[in-house]
Amino acid sequence: MRKTLKWTFIATLLIGIIIVLVIKPRGYKRMEKLANLKFKSILLHSDPNIDRNDFQRIPLRENTDKGVLIFPWICVLESGDTAMISIEVRKKVYPWEYENFVVRKNKKWGYLSDPESTFKQVLPNKYKNDYNYLENVSLYRYQNDLFVDVDSLKLIISPDKMYSFLKDGYFNVLLRENEYTVVAFYEPIAFIRKENKIIATKTAKIYFNENAEMLIIPYDAPRELWDNYNKE
């Protein structure tokens, strides 16, 4: 009887210790280490030109879920924009659960990698082989005045910024016609009112005139045009 009670006590004690060890929340240092390892892994599998030293850890982000901590990093780009990534680490993960980190990147993350296109690719068929024309292309002089007080369209990104994205190659060609090209940017550039709905669009028609001026018109490209994405 005593031997049975002894083994029952030992088994109960071991189970209790295991439960305490399993349920015990992770400390901050352990969670920070896990976030750092995940961050390094993400960069390792991203574009090889992304340098970890360009990133800066910033204070933890507030979160309504007290069971997690969110560790963010930022990188200030040459354009002045800020790319950010945050990694959410849970305080408790049971042995039978998969360690599932929640990783979020903002829309500027795409500008860390090498551009997918070149400025030459934005030219329509009419000018695509005219290198003299290419060297003289500039933004249409009245571009910034076109969308003032326009109810059906509200810019998210300024025409000057869109022009710089095109110059740097941060776009993809969806369609090329004789007078214009349809491109997709990496992030929404404008809100468009369409059939009583507000749509955030990444696409635009780029028109060119004989004076080598470029006019950027935000445009909700039809779904079928996206089949050409990355094919240029």
Instruction: Give residue 213's pLDDT.
Output: 95
Does residue 9 register a pLDDT over 70?
Answer: no
Instruction: Give residue 216's pLDDT.
Output: 96
Half-sphere exposure of 88 (CA within 13 A, CB side): 13
**Residue 120 vs residues 36, 126, 166, 168, 225: alpha-carbon distances, Å:** 40, 12, 9, 10, 20
Task: Name the range with the highest mean pLDDT among 12-16, 60-64, 144-148, 199-203.
Answer: 199-203
Confidence bin at 231 (pLDDT 50/70/90): very low
Task: List, for residues 130-142, the tens digit of each pLDDT value.
Answer: 999 999 999 998 8
Rounded Cα–Cα distance for residues 192 and 203 (Å): 11
Q: Which tokens go with 231?
A: 């094919």
The SS3 of residue 215 is: strand
Instruction: Give residue 187's pLDDT.
Output: 92
Contacts of 118 (CB under 8 A, 6+ apart): 169
Instruction: Give residue 94's pLDDT.
Output: 67
Q: Work out the angle at residue 59's Cα, subtended by the Cα atoms of residues 54 and 61, and round it to the nearest 5 degrees.
A: 110
Percent of the chain with pLDDT over 70: 83
Task: List, for residues 189-205, the tens digit of each pLDDT value.
Answer: 999 988 788 989 999 99
Instruction: Give residue 232's pLDDT.
Output: 43
Rounded Cα–Cα distance for residues 89 and 61 (Å): 12
Rounded Cα–Cα distance for residues 42 and 55 (Å): 13
E strand spans, the chain: 56-57, 68-76, 82-90, 102-105, 138-139, 153-155, 171-176, 180-185, 190-194, 197-201, 203-208, 213-218
Which residue type is seen at 44?
Answer: L
Task: List, for residues 70-123, the tens digit of each pLDDT value.
Answer: 999 999 988 788 999 999 998 887 666 667 788 999 988 888 888 889 999 999
Phi-psi region of 124 (alpha: psi -120 to 50; beta: other; left: phi over 0): beta
Instruction: Give residue 65's pLDDT.
Output: 73
pTM attached to this predicted model: 0.74
Phi-psi region of 181 (alpha: psi -120 to 50; beta: other; left: phi over 0): beta
Which residue type is seen at 215?
Answer: L
* Averaged pLDDT of the chain: 84
Does residue 26 register a pLDDT over 80?
Answer: no
